Amino acid sequence: MATDTALLIVDVQVGLFERSVIEARDLLERIRDLIADARAARIPVIYVQHCGSSHGHTLHPDRPGWQIHPAIAPQPGDVIIEKRFLDAFKQTELRRELDARGIRRLIVTGLQTEMGVDATCRSAQRLGYEVMLVTDQRLAFDAETVSARGLVEREMALIREGYGKVTYPAHTTFSLS
């Protein structure tokens, strides 16, 4: 059991699946398997839930899209951190929660790789946490000038070179060794 490790699931909320998520069902199954593996290893699962600031925002707390996707729904004892910025550490209780549990290593996955996941990984590294990003091309959306695959590949390269480890779901271990 890796007692100093937690699994951090960032922004996997219903509203983000209103857009075209590549192979959404497969993506949710992989995240669900990752959560099951973490629970089997007695690693805490921490959900980060984005709160859109305007009432019209898909992820505003008053909108149905704000809910964590039911395919990976939290269980009793899981921690849910609400955030209002891309970075899950900015003006939230995340750091306090991790420190209270003695967490020094984070395994991170979620939507979108180039946004909330990236900002959270960068802050985690700056705060002294060891970071492993679990990703694939399905954790982003196509943009005007670059594909989802291109966005994720760029982010993985930045993370690998700058501040963390990158792995794919099938290669994830909870030891971070």
In the chain, where the domains are located:
5-171
User: How many angstroms separate the CA atoms of 77 and 74, rounded?
Assistant: 8
pLDDT at 163 (0 to 100): 58
User: How many angstroms separate the CA atoms of 24 and 6, rounded?
Assistant: 24
CA Rg value for the chain: 15
pLDDT at 88 (0 to 100): 96
pLDDT at 114 (0 to 100): 60
CATH for 5-171, among 3.40.50.300, 3.40.50.720, 3.40.50.850, 3.10.50.40? 3.40.50.850
Q: Looking at 54-129, which runs of residues are DSSP E strands?
A: 79-83, 105-110
pLDDT at 86 (0 to 100): 92
Nearest to 12 by CA among 55, 62, 63, 74: 74
Instruction: Write out the two tokens for 40.
Output: 């089997």
Could you tell me whether strands 105-110 and 79-83 are parallel, antiparallel, or unpaired per DSSP bridges?
unpaired
pLDDT at 177 (0 to 100): 41
Helix or strand run (H / E) with residue 123: helix 118-126
pLDDT at 48 (0 to 100): 97
pLDDT at 58 (0 to 100): 85
Sheet holding 105-110, edge to edge: 79-83, 45-50, 5-10, 105-110, 130-134, 165-167
User: How many angstroms separate the CA atoms of 50 and 23, rounded?
Assistant: 22
**This prediction's pTM:** 0.81
Tell me if 4 sits within 8 A of 42, measured CB to CB: no
User: How many angstroms separate the CA atoms of 96 and 154, rounded?
Assistant: 31
Query: pLDDT tens per residue, the chain (177 residues)?
Result: 468 999 999 999 998 877 655 567 788 888 999 999 999 999 999 999 999 988 888 889 999 999 999 999 999 999 999 999 999 999 999 999 999 999 999 999 888 766 788 889 889 989 999 988 886 545 555 556 655 566 566 666 666 565 556 555 544 555 444
Tell me if 71 sits within 8 A of 28, measured CB to CB: yes
Task: DSSP letter for 90, please.
Answer: T
pLDDT at 30 (0 to 100): 87
